Amino acid sequence: MTVSAQRRIYHIPDLPGYVTLKCDFHSHTVFSDGYVWPTNRIDEAWRDGLDAIAITDHIEYQPRKAYIPTDYNAAWKIAGARAVGRNIILVHGAEITRSMPPGHLNALFITDADSLNKPDFMKVIETAINQGAFIQWNHPGWKAQEPDGIPKFYPVHKELIARGWLHGIEYYNDQEFYPLVMDMCRENGLAVIGNSDIHDVISETFPAPAYTHRPMTLVFAKERTPESLREAMFAGRTAVWYGNSLAGFEEYVAPLFRSAVTAGAPFRDDGKSIWFELSNNSDLPMELTGGPEGAPAEITLPASGMVIVKADRRFLDEPMTYSVSNIITGTNTVLKAEIRPAAN
Amino acid sequence: MTVSAQRRIYHIPDLPGYVTLKCDFHSHTVFSDGYVWPTNRIDEAWRDGLDAIAITDHIEYQPRKAYIPTDYNAAWKIAGARAVGRNIILVHGAEITRSMPPGHLNALFITDADSLNKPDFMKVIETAINQGAFIQWNHPGWKAQEPDGIPKFYPVHKELIARGWLHGIEYYNDQEFYPLVMDMCRENGLAVIGNSDIHDVISETFPAPAYTHRPMTLVFAKERTPESLREAMFAGRTAVWYGNSLAGFEEYVAPLFRSAVTAGAPFRDDGKSIWFELSNNSDLPMELTGGPEGAPAEITLPASGMVIVKADRRFLDEPMTYSVSNIITGTNTVLKAEIRPAAN
Amino acid sequence: MTVSAQRRIYHIPDLPGYVTLKCDFHSHTVFSDGYVWPTNRIDEAWRDGLDAIAITDHIEYQPRKAYIPTDYNAAWKIAGARAVGRNIILVHGAEITRSMPPGHLNALFITDADSLNKPDFMKVIETAINQGAFIQWNHPGWKAQEPDGIPKFYPVHKELIARGWLHGIEYYNDQEFYPLVMDMCRENGLAVIGNSDIHDVISETFPAPAYTHRPMTLVFAKERTPESLREAMFAGRTAVWYGNSLAGFEEYVAPLFRSAVTAGAPFRDDGKSIWFELSNNSDLPMELTGGPEGAPAEITLPASGMVIVKADRRFLDEPMTYSVSNIITGTNTVLKAEIRPAAN
Amino acid sequence: MTVSAQRRIYHIPDLPGYVTLKCDFHSHTVFSDGYVWPTNRIDEAWRDGLDAIAITDHIEYQPRKAYIPTDYNAAWKIAGARAVGRNIILVHGAEITRSMPPGHLNALFITDADSLNKPDFMKVIETAINQGAFIQWNHPGWKAQEPDGIPKFYPVHKELIARGWLHGIEYYNDQEFYPLVMDMCRENGLAVIGNSDIHDVISETFPAPAYTHRPMTLVFAKERTPESLREAMFAGRTAVWYGNSLAGFEEYVAPLFRSAVTAGAPFRDDGKSIWFELSNNSDLPMELTGGPEGAPAEITLPASGMVIVKADRRFLDEPMTYSVSNIITGTNTVLKAEIRPAAN
């Protein structure tokens, strides 16, 4: 027996000492307000080359209940066997669905979603924490709940942080991103997260060729196991891959960039300029801007692509410094990277 | 300055000790019966991720001469500067174009194509050989010249071989392949070659998605230099990538397969069967057939794809042997490959 | 408000006096063994350019009942409002799911699916008939029920026909077709039907570019209304469009071909041959074979495509007769068509 | 014999009394600074569904002359036979290539391009006029010649107009458009023209899916003949189709819009609002903006697509007026169009 549908293999480098796990920690099924059966989420994850997903049906929002009796663990039970068969890590989860504040939060790595159905919000979080949960604040700038679109910590969030009960925030959700989340996470030791929050069919919501991949969280884990995944998330070793951009702290995205982008030795030298190949061995395109005098002002490196760079001979001895405008490292910062041709 | 059009990066593994160069040693321009200017052949090669090409306009067939005076070195001169700018190895070549026998032969790595314009065929070859040429017999089963489509050595070819003046034969040309060439090359120490023989626009002749790449010769060279390329071709370290197939001698294609196809450790074991992931890290799909009892009879591994294999537990201790039906190693043979899950 | 997702407009000609309705009378949801919520079937139909669909969840097969209580009319109720909003004709249906004989049959245009849940098969059909149902025999050669793959009338089917209780048979289902159904329908006055029998996501089951459309039944109706649709089906005015083929009785497919394929006047005449354009104004490719002496033996006319035909001058005065090998008119027959250039 | 490569059939409506001819009046070959052989331009035109093209190699710019002796009629002679075989109207042309003013001008419908090789510009034009030429001013805002990018009439152009020696101006060329050309043409009775000015391979310069078609001039001719084409151009019955936009005078684009966009009868009416289908039967997408109160503010109608419009019931009695923002009728104006649902 082989699984016949193709699994997409994305070329995203591992970091030294870590494997890069591709994850989506926010999805829905017919057991809340989604449109597909739980096993479909596993099949989608298989095709999309993911290592781990969470199904996070709403606790407090059950619009299908006239037809489908509430069972908060149903999706987990139904999808579990399929996940085992496809070697996908299925994270047990649920979306605690309140008005803002506190808004919506996912409890991940829980053991019983039914236990989260109670009125007192802090009790719910405590219950999840007692199950070992990673608590993720979802779409904090969602205009349906936060009309100005600006994520902000309310007292309840500060209380969660103070107790160590908040572990990550969605920088990206569905089609939206929230720049402030980068610094909110940095300042509070939280993980930067990005998810699809998929309700409908993933391939129709993020269709090719407009999308080359769904939004996802990259987790830099010691191994590809549920335990390592969980450890890495609590340690905040994450980045978000969405559209043609990557958002993550410099300590993770800088080595990722260095693994992905390689320069060849100069193949031509006319005494004034050198020419060398610059390759991108990843599926993440790279947009280099702000190049120095005597080098290209901008370099667009397509996914799995190569360009030829012409530059002054002085760059045989000193690096060219660029801003990587599509790798976001903070609310107001992007990655700085040095390019230098290989030695001949 | 950067070259903006994307260069396609094909994932074809290097062999231990060698780099895999992607080459096309047969193409035409308006300087014989082709339809494009010579620089286009370099631009196409750049986009197609090739390392080396030869432009091989016909010596004896000059249908454009009412408009374009014959100049056998013109394409070489015109394309040369562009090749330098794109870091493409441009092999100086020409196609000696006779009726069968001897048929059409490419002289590659020559220094002056004008010198090949003389009536006596053996003198022409001798002249090329004196320039250091690699002599390649083109489309030996082309029905326009060999009505039964069966390549065969005529006395003139045997004479060339006896003198050491024949070095390779096209197993693949344009849209045709000639199975007998595998054994003809094996028995005579010749290189197996495959080329596009492009006359028109390459992207329109081998259009996506029907074609993922043009037909090409893979050359396993010590380095990416003209000298190493030439050394590898004379040493016969080649294979042909065409459509979804690869043709080459076992000593080259077996390690290529082993680099491309990797098995994970079993992720599931029910006491009777094991399940493991089988990945193809190359752009060459793999068709495994003739699997043993207790394992899948057939496995289709898409390019850059992954499947899950279920097999008896006994395959923890012994390999599964398959025929790789799309990797041709001889006129009547395909690659045999062993698959075994990684250790846990 | 506009519906933003694109609706595909297929170019399939109307017949004189009729509009061609594109229909799929066989689909499933989570309310039997399908994988999507009922509204998705409407959204898919909208995008796929369909005029009418039936959701036909199984009566006797309810594998989700541990999670979703049986409600045979649920999908109809849920999808109804969406169908109204999208101007899709939603046919109320159910799949009576028995072992062979009688196998599986869809009751279409019913008013209450719950009433079909009773043990006695003939009573079930009688109940449906009393609701005005069109009874369609599904996948009669499905190997899970008919191991030799050959559809055959059992006594129960003959009894249904005798009573006027059988109105159509699936010639095509999912990925299979049953040639014998053409003559079985012809001899018994039944409609030829083709459906997707979709359980999963339609765009993933019939993905582009491998598929340009899902399998569907073309119904030649007086108007685009539920009543006209029903009238046409009982009258047997149908054809099946699947892959690159069309199956239907000659009285329907011949005028469709004549509307789709048009020949221009000769634009060139050298005294011996004429040249003219042959155009296909439909999304159905046409494969013409068996051409006469002095005309092309075969003509491939792509969807919305054009070719140039060169033929003897005598075809100014007499038609060229071809077999249209991809338009099936009976178990052993294909459409014969005459091609003649337009007058100058 | 049939031509096997597919000819694309674009759905662009004819106007009442006219057929819409798809034309490209500006292209180059190896006989000036192009990169392909002249027959390729005919093959490209066939595949692109064009009715007419002109090859317009430069008179004064002959960069290939070291290899290809100047012959201004060569491309015309070489491509002519192929045009006859493909039923493409090949317009004999040449590009008079001067610095600005006067810049570059195409002479179309000439009989001898060699005769245009003389120093005195007005003499050249006079010679062309005496051959019956249509004179088209090319890319009047090309920054290489007009640094501010703003097209302007110099005395020489006014002189041409005064003598009746200028008949059209390129509003669109390659990837650029010049808004002022709309009014410059309107005020002087000139035809609005748009061309590819292709030098390289058309399918690589305007690649799918980024481009669905090359830029082209639509000519509204009485018949599909060279004479009718010429008559229509001198009469100024043209429009330009480029990217997702159309530029032309209202008398031509308004009926084209009305043929392309059709509204169905309301299929739903809740006493307050109506719903109806709005279809686009053309390959030109339509961007409707500035909708009235009680109707959608914006409607995007994809090529060959359909949307559902919800609007107040009062629009049963009065039309909805929109600006069609991608149909340009003047330097500062776009088409105004009325939408009204069909009667029930």
Contacts of C74 in chain A (CB under 8 A): 67
Nearest Cα residue to D108 out of D80, D131, D83, D86: D131
Question: Per residue in B126-157, pLDDT tens?
Answer: 999 999 999 999 999 999 999 999 999 999 99
3-state secondary structure of C95: strand
Question: Do B108 and B133 form a contact (C-beta atoms < 8 A)?
Answer: yes
pTM of the prediction? Answer: 0.95
Quick one: angle between helices C74-86 and C38-47, nearest 10?
A: 30
Question: Per residue in B275-324, pLDDT tens?
Answer: 999 999 999 999 999 999 999 999 999 998 999 999 999 999 999 999 99
Nearest to B71 among D67, D74, D204 (CB): D67
Tokens linked to B103: 């048929």
Q: What is the mean pLDDT of residues B98-121?
A: 98
At residue B3, does pLDDT exceed 60?
no
Q: What is the mean pLDDT of residues A18-33?
A: 98
Contacts of A64 in chain C (CB under 8 A): 37
At residue A2, does pLDDT exceed 80?
no
Contacts of A55 in chain C (CB under 8 A): none
Question: Do A57 and A31 form a contact (C-beta atoms < 8 A)?
Answer: yes
pLDDT at C1: 45
Percent pLDDT > 90 in chain D is: 96
CB contact under 8 A, C268 and D87: yes
At residue B245, does pLDDT exceed 50?
yes
At residue A118, does pLDDT exceed 90?
yes
Residue B262 backbone dihedrals phi, psi, to 5 degrees: -130, 140
Contacts of C210 in chain A (CB under 8 A): none
The two counts, helices (H) then strands (E), for chain C are 8, 19
Q: Can you spell out the DSSP letters for B1-37?
A: -B--SPPP----PPPTT-EEEEEE--B--TTTT-SB-
Question: Per residue in A229-272, pLDDT tens?
Answer: 999 999 999 999 999 999 999 999 999 999 999 999 999 999 99
Confidence of residue B1 (pLDDT cuts 50, 70, 90): very low
User: How many Å lie between the alpha carbon of C198 and the closest alpha carbon of chain A?
Assistant: 14
How many pairs of residues across B and D have Cβ atoms under 8 Å apart? 48
Contacts of A37 in chain C (CB under 8 A): 30, 34-36, 64
CB contact under 8 A, A35 and C35: no
Contacts of B201 in chain D (CB under 8 A): 36, 40, 201, 203-204
At residue C151, does pLDDT exceed 90?
yes
Question: Per residue in C222-274, pLDDT tens?
Answer: 999 999 999 999 999 999 999 999 999 999 999 999 999 999 999 999 999 99
Per CB distance under 8 Å, which residues of A are interface residues toward B?
Answer: 1-4, 6-9, 84-87, 267-268, 275, 277-279, 281, 296, 299-300, 302, 304-310
CB contact under 8 A, A201 and C200: no
pLDDT at B13: 97
**D93: enclosing H helix or E strand:** strand D89-97
Nearest CA in chain D to B74: D67
Contacts of A52 in chain B (CB under 8 A): none
Question: Per residue in B155-186, pLDDT tens?
Answer: 999 999 999 999 999 999 999 999 999 999 99
Tokens linked to B251: 């000593």
Confidence of residue D5 (pLDDT cuts 50, 70, 90): low
Strand-pairing partners, residue B242, are: B245
Question: Per residue in A173-193, pLDDT tens?
Answer: 999 999 999 999 999 999 999
Per CB distance under 8 Å, which residues of C are interface residues toward A?
Answer: 30-31, 34-37, 39-40, 64, 67-69, 71, 74, 78, 200-201, 203-204
- The residue among A30, A43, A70, A71 with the most chain C CBs within 10 A of its CB, best to mutate, is A30
Q: In angstroms, how far is CA B52 from the centroid of its own chain?
A: 11
- The residue among A10, A82, A300, A308 with the most chain B CBs within 10 A of its CB, best to mutate, is A308
Residue A122 backbone dihedrals phi, psi, to 5 degrees: -65, -30
Q: Where does D154-249 have alpha helices with state H?
A: 155-163, 180-188, 202-205, 226-234
Confidence of residue C5 (pLDDT cuts 50, 70, 90): low
Percent pLDDT > 70 in chain C is: 99
Tokens linked to C215: 């399998």
pLDDT at C331: 97
CB contact under 8 A, B275 and A85: yes
CB contact under 8 A, A67 and C71: yes
Question: Per residue in A286-322, pLDDT tens?
Answer: 999 999 999 999 999 999 899 999 999 999 999 999 9
Dump strand ranges (E) for chain A.
19-24, 52-55, 89-97, 104-108, 134-137, 168-173, 176-177, 191-195, 216-221, 238-242, 245-248, 261-263, 268-269, 273-280, 286-289, 299-301, 306-312, 320-330, 333-339
ipTM of model? 0.94
pLDDT at D1: 44
- The residue among A55, A204, A205, A211 with the most chain C CBs within 10 A of its CB, best to mutate, is A204
Contacts of A39 in chain C (CB under 8 A): 35
Nearest to B37 among D35, D39, D204 (CB): D35
| C-alpha dist (Å) from residue A49 to A216, A242, B61, B188 | 11, 15, 52, 46
Question: Per residue in D211-227, pLDDT tens?
Answer: 999 999 999 999 999 99
Name A258's Cβ contacts closer than 8 Å, sequence gap at least 6: A337
Question: Per residue in C92-110, pLDDT tens?
Answer: 999 999 999 999 999 999 9
Nearest to B296 among A1, A86, A306 (CB): A1
How many pairs of residues across C and D have Cβ atoms under 8 Å apart? 78
Nearest to C35 among A37, A64, A71 (CB): A37
Q: What is the mean pLDDT of residues C149-169?
A: 98
Contacts of D205 in chain B (CB under 8 A): none
